Amino acid sequence: MLKITNAVKTFSAGTPNEHKALDGLSIHLEKGEFVTIVGSNGAGKSTLFNAICGNFLLDSGRIELEGKDISFMKEHKRAAFIGRVFQDPMKGTAPNITIEENLALAFSRSRSGPLGIAVRKSDRDFFAEALSEFGMGLEDRMKTKVGLLSGGQRQVVTLLMCTLVTPKLLLLDEHTAALDPATAEKVMEITNNIVNRNKITTMMITHNMNSALKTGTRTIMMDSGEIILDTSGEERDKMTLDDLLKMYSLKKNKEFANDRMLLN
């Protein structure tokens, strides 16, 4: 479904600040897989997402989605079938227009013609029904400007915007990290419901390593632009946090160091 082959990306090449963010990385996801990604700061996790979304072109390597080479496809064209939710709740929505207008803008991607925020009654009913499933009362606030919502509410709106038209691939870039624990748990519950119901192929970056082992179907660990651990199935089901950290230490011959890592 998603196939990345020998992806290489170097920033500031030929300067004292040269940094190889992706170092020959390869990965293959089957349709419907939910992969969690962990790794220290600077491991290349967000760079991987940026490469998939087309924020920049790879120095070398290939990205294929459903058998189609998208390595040189423009970012705005990839956005039509790749959804992404960022860590910052301020990203992904337009704060000065209403919830229903944000949703209409996202929904218009599924139609031919220019993007627009005109809201038809049938669309409004559809949006309200979708929002009501989240149990946050947002269906009663569709005329509210998104900038007035809480962080958790904005993330839910962004998540719905990314999945109203089911994407081929959903990228979750630490999308609960900026939320308080109770809200993060609620947003994660909503995320799992959407992903499972629609069988969306998903990749999620997280610093919560316990969550990484409990969420989805597969966990990979990155370090220095490479995948150093890839576990799924029974092996992953039996793995503990200590096991994960020990495997990292064995492969890299060093302790896992990350001041943002959450253990609970």
Is residue 117's pLDDT more than 80? Answer: no
**Pick from 80-84, 110-114, 128-132, 223-227: least confident:** 110-114
pLDDT (tens digit, 9 = 90+) per residue, 141-190?
999 999 999 999 999 999 999 999 999 999 999 999 999 999 999 999 99
pLDDT for 255 equals 62
- State the pLDDT at residue 264: 42
pLDDT at 259 (0 to 100) = 44
Tens digits of residue pLDDT in 208-255: 888 999 999 999 999 999 999 999 999 999 999 889 888 878 877 666
**Distant-in-sequence, close-in-space partners of 134: CB < 8 Å, separation ≥ 6:** 156, 160, 190
Give the model confidence (pLDDT) of 23-57 as tens digits.
999 999 999 999 999 998 899 999 999 999 999 99
Residue 110 has pLDDT above 70, yes or no: no
**CB under 8 Å, gap of 24 or more: what pairs does 191-195 form?**
191/159, 193/133, 194/159, 194/160, 194/163, 195/34, 195/170
Confidence class for position 115, pLDDT limits 50, 70, 90: low
pTM, two decimals, is: 0.93
Above 90 in pLDDT, residue 119?
no
pLDDT at 257 over 70: no
pLDDT in tens, 55-100: 999 999 999 999 999 999 999 999 999 999 999 999 989 999 999 9
pLDDT score, position 139:
96
Q: What is the pLDDT of residue 108?
A: 83
- pLDDT score at 247: 82
